[in-house]
Amino acid sequence: MQSVFKGIANLVFCGSGLGAIAAPACPPVPMVVGIQEVGVLYQAGVGLDKDVIDELQSRSKCKFTLVSMPRARIFAELEAGRIDMTTSVMGTPERLNYLWIFNYFQTEFYAVGLQKSAKVFRTGEEFISNPEAPKLGVVRGFSYGPVLNALVARLAAEKRVEEVSSIELLFKMLAADRMPVILASPMAYRKILADEGLEDKVAIVDWDNANGASPRGLAFSKKIFSEQSAKDWGLVVDAMCRDGTMKRLIGKYLNKRETQDAIFRPVGQPSR
């Protein structure tokens, strides 16, 4: 899947070796980070994304303010230049029109459903072809990668997609049997399944096993950051990957195998 991003100049890969680190220029006021509350990435003021921002603050001596908001609103605010940056973004061509993105981890999305519904979602194609299959739940504004995005589009054309504002709401609907199948990543469902008491009640199926993990990065608004100023932040992210900081931060929330899988690697590098 990562080969999709070859040749996109606005996307910089973590660990790509961008050169000597220049201290980013700090603006006169704290930078506003739009952040969504989801799983181990950010919940109640803690999580991987919060740790990454804290590390940026420590290294740059710049100030940041985190503001929780829905994913779709975050992108609208970034495109308009009303907030500075966000976390955990997949670099789609559309987003690269208004964002500079620097990858720092990778993740996969899976179909998660109640075990009693598992027979209708063993594969994505089977789910689509079954007229009795339930709707698929997704988060508004999320990108799930080329294969799953195409699948969601096909289902949406048949009015079989339910979009909600947050992953937490999707899992609450799953727990209440109001949405039998949803798309989610381990970064989200690892914590939420435990919180909702669903660990022994769901089946998790890989609908995108051909493409594997997709990258996620820090995103900076082009309305606010020049190419050079964004690159200065990219150098800090790159250093965090190279010196093992990112692996350490990810390891606070995932087990050893999950941590290894979540470490971002540029195109062509092995997963382990």
Q: Which CATH topology does 110-205 take?
A: D-Maltodextrin-Binding Protein; domain 2 (3.40.190)
Domain boundaries, given as residue ranges, for the chain: 7-107+213-262, 110-205
Rounded (10°) CA dihedral 7, 11, 16, 18: 110
Residue 202 neighbours by CB distance under 10 Å = 23
Q: Looking at this protein, which amino acid is placed at residue 214?
A: S
Is residue 3 within 8 A of residue 134, CB to CB? The reply is: no
Please, which pLDDT band fits residue 183 given cuts at 50, 70 and 90? very high
Q: What is the pTM for the complete model shown?
A: 0.73
Lowest mean pLDDT among 96-100, 210-214, 238-242: 210-214
- 7-107+213-262 and 110-205 have identical folds: yes
Tell which wins on pLDDT, 38 or 75.
75
Position of tokens 């998790």? 204
pLDDT at 6 over 60: no
**Phi and psi of 214, rounded to 5°?**
-120, 150
pLDDT at 16 over 60: no
pLDDT at 86 over 60: yes
Return the CATH number of the domain spanning residue range 7-107+213-262: 3.40.190.10
**Phi and psi of 207, rounded to 5°?**
-90, 0
Task: Please state at what angle helix 48-60 crosses helix 227-242, rounded to 10 degrees.
Answer: 110
Q: What is the pLDDT of residue 270?
A: 35
Q: What is the pLDDT of residue 151?
A: 93
The set of residues, in sequence order, having a beta carbon less than 8 Å from that of 161 and lying 6+ positions away, is 135, 136, 137, 138, 152, 155
